[in-house]
Structures are given as C-alpha cells and as structure tokens.
C-alpha cells in the first residue's frame, strides 16, 4: 500500500502536468483564445497551432517551397484594426514560399493553399512576430489575423 505522502505527491504532479500539457497543445494566449472562439467558432486548427477558415476554395496545384507566389492580403489585430494590406491586384505582394521572407505562419500555410483560394488565418504570436513584435506597428506577443488570397504561382 502506498503512503499518503506518495499519493499526495502523485496527485500534485498530475495536477501540475495538466496546464503544461495544455500549453504544449495551445499556442494562443488564453485571453486571445477566448476572443478567437467567440469571433470565429468554425475556425479549424492545424498541427502548427494556426487556425483558419477557407473563405473561397481554390483550384490547381499548391505552391512548393521555393516557388514565387503573388498574394493579396489584409493583416489585422484581434480587435479588427488593420495594420497592413496589399489589396491591389495590379500590384500584389510577391515572395518565395519557405524562404523566411514572411512570417512562419505564412510559410506554413501557403503550401496548403491552391490558386484562387481565400483563407482567413489566425496566427499565434510565436509564428508571427513573437516576443519582439515589430517596432511601431505590431506589439509584442500579438496574435494576428490575415485574409490571404493566393492569386498566382509564378513560374521561375
């Protein structure tokens, strides 16, 4: 039979492990998670911790790492304030996928999209600008929301 001290120790360890396990699975800060669940209850969560909603299905192939893509996007905070956007189809934002030219959240997501697809992304801080933020524009530890439309996969 186990002593009461051992049982108490096991119980304490189990109770302490629950928040640690939750923290490993969930990358959004708790207060941000509540907002996201209220505003976008249908958002799916992928293995990276990014939440998304496909607003319009695309067609064709997915971009491969190293390929150049042209996108339109709008970036905002959870409160809806826009911090950046590229909305002119004549002058889309162009970059190479998987080459660290954009935040990790985009590099993880674009290879899953097809040409013409519009997707809403909710990117946890660690896959965006993290603890450093972006001076004067994006605060530290900000969860970011993007609407991204993959216009084109450019032939190199």
Tell me if 137 is assigned to some domain: yes
Known catalytic residue at 146? yes
Q: Residue-wise over 3-34: b if at least 16 C-beta within 10 A, else e?
A: eeeeeeeeeeeeeeeeeeeeeeeebbeeebbe
Q: How many residues does the chain have?
A: 156
**CATH for 133:** 3.10.50.40
Residue partners of 128: CB distance under 8 A and separation at least 6: 103, 104, 105, 138, 142, 143, 144
Tell me if 150 is assigned to some domain: yes
Known catalytic residue at 46? no
Expressed as residue numbers, the domain containing 51 is: 27-154
Known catalytic residue at 95? no
Tell me if 73 is assigned to some domain: yes
Known catalytic residue at 129? yes
* Residue pLDDT, tens place only, 76-112: 999 999 999 999 999 999 999 999 999 999 999 999 9
Our count of domains for the chain comes to 1
From the candidates 35, 54, 77, 84, give the one annotated as an active-site residue: 84
pTM: 0.82
Look at residues 32, 79, 70 and name the one whose alpha carbon lies nearest to residue 51.
Answer: 32
User: Does residue 139 carry a pLDDT above 70?
Assistant: yes
Tell me if 78 is assigned to some domain: yes
Distance, in Å, from the CA atom of 149 to the CA atom of 58, rounded to the nearest integer, reads 9
From the candidates 35, 54, 83, 95, give the one annotated as an active-site residue: 83
Distance, in Å, from the CA atom of 66 to the CA atom of 95, rounded to the nearest integer, reads 9
Tell me if 123 is assigned to some domain: yes
Tell me if 18 is assigned to some domain: no
From the candidates 103, 122, 148, 153, give the one annotated as an active-site residue: 103
| Res. 10 pLDDT band, cuts 50 70 90 | very low
Q: Which pLDDT does position 117 carry in this prediction?
A: 98
From the candidates 129, 138, 148, 153, give the one annotated as an active-site residue: 129
* Residue pLDDT, tens place only, 22-80: 444 689 999 999 999 999 999 999 999 999 999 999 999 999 999 999 999 999 999 99
Tell me if 57 is assigned to some domain: yes
Tell me if 134 is assigned to some domain: yes
From the candidates 73, 138, 148, 153, give the one annotated as an active-site residue: 73
In degrees to the nearest 10, what's the CA dihedral of 108, 93, 118, 83? Answer: 90
Known catalytic residue at 73? yes
């Amino acid at each position: 039979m186990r002593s009461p001290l051992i049982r108490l120790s096991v119980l304490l360890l189990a109770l302490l492990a629950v928040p640690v396990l939750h923290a490993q699975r969930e990358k959004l800060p708790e207060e941000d998670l509540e907002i996201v669940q209220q505003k976008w209850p249908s958002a799916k969560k992928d293995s990276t911790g990014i939440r998304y909603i496909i607003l319009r299905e695309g067609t064709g192939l997915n971009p491969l790492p190293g390929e150049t893509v042209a996108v339109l996007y709008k970036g905002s905070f959870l409160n809806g304030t826009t911090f950046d956007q590229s909305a002119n189809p004549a002058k889309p934002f162009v970059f190479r996928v998987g080459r660290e030219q954009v935040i990790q959240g985009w590099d993880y997501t674009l290879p899953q999209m097809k040409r013409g697809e519009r997707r809403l992304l909710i990117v946890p801080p660690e896959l965006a600008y993290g603890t450093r933020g972006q001076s004067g524009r994006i605060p530290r530890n900000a969860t970011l929301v993007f609407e991204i439309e993959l216009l084109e996969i450019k032939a190199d």
